[in-house]
Structure 1
Amino acid sequence: MDGGTATRTDNARIDPRRLWDALMDMASIGATPKGGVRRLTLTDVDKRGRDHFRALCEKEGLTVTVDAIGNMFARREGRDPKRKPVLFGSHLDSQPSGGKFDGALGVIAGLELVRTLNEAGIETDAPLVLCNWTDEEGSRFGHSLMGSGVWAGVYSLPKAYALADTEGVTVETALDAIGYRGEQKAEPFPADAYFELHIEQGPILEAEDRTIGIVTGAQAQVWYDAVLTGRDSHAGTTPPSARRDALVGAARIIDLVDRMMRRHGEAGRGTVGQLQVIPNSRNVVPGEVRFSVEFRHPDDATLLSLAEEFPRAAEAIAEENRLALDLIELFRIKAQPFDAACVRLVAEAAERHGMSAREIVSGAGHDAVYVARTVPTAMIFVPCKDGLSHNEEESILPEHAAAGAQVLCDAVLARANRSLA
């Protein structure tokens, strides 16, 4: 069989209360006053989260290994040691003012899956591997999906090691500082499938009162770093004709990004999320502005047109304002379809439990996008309140967390026990 219909185990029922308590325990690590979390990647707080995760995995009898970029893999052996393992998981790092569930839900639900199997005495044919990927968010070192990207061969390890945060600390130094530069090579190992549970981070499921999103793929993205350079000058003595105001130029490029996004309707995405004004003094005309730009779209051709148009249009704005523009394209990700057989297992699990579900394309980037380049992959979404994420007020219902974990459990079991004949 190709992975569609497979053996399932009816007594594998996750414990909703235990799952929720475990989520709250992880949320206490790096907790913020507004109810969110701050677990920036490769910091001491991230180390505390990793150490906690490792201890819980080892308590369940899993063997934990760490690769050279800090990705963590917790393995549960199967009946057939020759079978390729089924992977599942997500990430534990957060945004600077992140929510409790972004990433952590997929990791902790994976742990609950293992606890459920152990409690029920269920052994799978294939081994299982629970993953915690390094620096999914990209908020500290500027490259999202870094750990899965290195693992999948999208980024080289030396390039990742050389990335630095705003204080000049490199990834390599940070890994060593928290003791999570592992000995295992950061490269793909043979795997049969990968499943990732995540909050939707958008409003669709909640608006339609659906419990499960059957994710069929992820949209294309392009990211830039931009530096506009003009000239610092006195705010009170510099007339309009003499000004080379980098912030005004940046504002006009930011408006360009917004206009380009809105031209493509509800499918368009264009964002400037970081802005650094130099010298950042109230009575100085800013001479330099650094900012981020990104576009996303589910269609590769549309994203390509955005990526071709934006640099030219931004350069024209810079010239009009007598500014120098340094625009660097950080990366470009094609739209990534997920594996049809794995997606079907997610749909079958939701149907089996009578959960309302719909197919959906991921608007956000996830580790699954890069893992899918080498391993058959699918994702499961559950609703979040008001579609809000990357925010301390991010919230989900316990019953939705439990539903997503149950679908994850069923899909992983079905894949791990499928007939290879």
Structure 2
Amino acid sequence: MHETKMKPTINITRLQSTFDVSSSIGTTEKGGLTRLALTKEDVKIRDVFVEWLEEAGLAVKIDDLGNIYGRREGKKKEAGAVMIGSHLDTLPKGGRFDGILGVLSSLEVIRTLNDLNIETDRPIEIVNFTNEEGERFTPPMQGSGVITGNYDKEIIYKLKDKDGISFEQSLIDSGYLGDIKNRSSNVDYFIETHIEQGPFLEENQKDIGIVQGVKGTKRHRVQIKGKSSHSAFPNSHRKEALLAASEIVLTIDEVAKQFEDLSTSIGVFDVTPSVESITTEFVEFTFDARHIDNAIKDQAIRLIKEKINEVSIKRKVEIDFEETWDANGTYFSKEIMKSIEEAVESNGYSHQYITAPALHDAKFMTDITKTAMIFCPSKDGLSHCEEEYTSIEDIEKVTNVLLRTVISLANQN
């Protein structure tokens, strides 16, 4: 039957229990999770996830990247599927919800459809992407990146972790090296539910964020070479790398304030020497700039580079500026966003449109299919930490929205 005359809702007690199981695998002292891709903790949650998929009656496949798929057939077996999901790996001392919400909410959608004997025209597939976080093997989003053509598989296979173990060997050791023929290819829609990882939904007291797109990201490495001297050496004659770096860092922050919705951040910051009584000779740091509009992002970088040239002359230091990553901003499917908004309104929830500040698997999925994301609030905007928290009430709401959106899209002609 179709759901046109009913308003199905998920079983939040069951979903809470599912989260409890996930949160018990790789648990840290402060209640977070450490489940780096293809480690024993990740393998354990993968094994449990596969059991859940099979118990829900799904056909399970594993591809050559270790991506796990669970398929619920539709009445029109040849129709393009509605795919839902995210990732189960985490950062070291990461949170219990980042990525995990997207996978477990998708599982609950399938379970609810089964409970209510709801058939759909299109097949529905759940996916757990491999190594979204990119912590053990860099870059991030490798499972989605290869299947969408953004990464070369042979290069990804050769990547090594800090212990010298390759990505390919880790797939073999984990038991999750599948076959390339198991990649899902006939997908018409992809939806990823996720915590916001920001403060706006909570601040604005909105239940749901309908995500318009993902900010593009440029990452850079800056190396500054000056000259060490005694700390009593006159300031007017110094070539101090740290002072030059300080000016540049403050400029990066000031540039961010000139453009609405532009985010910048400093990552690694190394100083040499880092001792008393000697001025700094060398500084290396990384930073990124994020905006959904690629032109604005590029303009911001130009302003930063201009300041770097000024500082190099002023401080009499050599500065090397290198771009290490460039991912364009991405806009999501208006068709799916419309379905999400209808699902929000039918449930009586509040919402706002929002831009994703961080990269997600959904960013790559836009290259092969219509894609969208649904956000729910993050407590205090915190994420990628043990304090990451989203209430069960907010999880229930976003999963109900996903459920009704999936039903709608899975019955589209």
Whole-Å separation in 1 of the counterparts to 2:99 and 2:7: 27
| Contact 2:255–2:303 (CA under 8 A) maintained in structure 1 | no
Q: Secondary structure at the match of 1:93?
A: coil
Within 5 A, what are the aligned runs for 1:248-287? 248-265=243-260, 267-277=261-271
| Contact 1:7–1:417 (CA under 8 A) maintained in structure 2 | no
Whole-Å separation in 2 of the counterparts to 1:406 and 1:195: 13
Whole-Å separation in 2 of the counterparts to 1:396 and 1:325: 43
Identity %: 35
Within 5 A, what are the aligned runs for 1:339-378? 339-378=333-372
Q: Deviations over 1:261-300 (max 9, x none)?
A: 12225x1210112334567667776655443311012322
Q: Deviations over 1:58-77 (max 9, x none)?
A: 22222222222222211122
- The residue aligned with 2:64 is 68
Within 5 A, what are the aligned runs for 1:91-240? 91-184=87-180, 189-229=185-225
Whole-Å separation in 2 of the counterparts to 1:279 and 1:9: 70
Return the offset for 1:153.
1.1
Whole-Å separation in 1 of the counterparts to 2:224 and 2:5: 59
- The residue aligned with 1:334 is 328
Q: Secondary structure at the match of 1:307?
A: helix
My pick for the range that moved more, 306-315 or 327-336, is 306-315
| Contact 2:226–2:240 (CA under 8 A) maintained in structure 1 | yes
Return the offset for 1:166.
4.6
Q: Secondary structure at the match of 1:274?
A: strand
Structure 1 residues 186 and 152 mapped into 2: Cα distance closer, same or farther (>3 Å)?
Answer: farther
Whole-Å separation in 1 of the counterparts to 2:36 and 2:148: 22
Per the normalisation by structure 1, the TM-score is 0.88
Q: What is the aligned counterpart of 2:53 among 42, 54, 57? A: 57
Gaps of 5+ in 1: 1-5
State the AA in 1 paired with 2:398.
Answer: G
My pick for the range that moved more, 302-311 or 393-402, is 302-311
| Contact 2:216–2:292 (CA under 8 A) maintained in structure 1 | yes
Return the offset for 1:346.
0.5
| Contact 2:18–2:104 (CA under 8 A) maintained in structure 1 | yes
- The residue aligned with 1:294 is 288
Structure 1 residues 227 and 27 mapped into 2: Cα distance closer, same or farther (>3 Å)?
Answer: farther
- Number of residue pairs aligned between Structure 1 and Structure 2: 412
My pick for the range that moved more, 32-41 or 337-346, is 32-41
Whole-Å separation in 2 of the counterparts to 1:415 and 1:149: 25
State the AA in 1 paired with 2:168.
Answer: E
Per the normalisation by structure 2, the TM-score is 0.89
Q: Deviations over 1:56-96 (max 9, x none)?
A: 11222222222222222111222221111110011112222
C-alpha RMSD of the superposition: 2.8
Q: What is the aligned counterpart of 2:297 among 296, 303, 306? A: 303
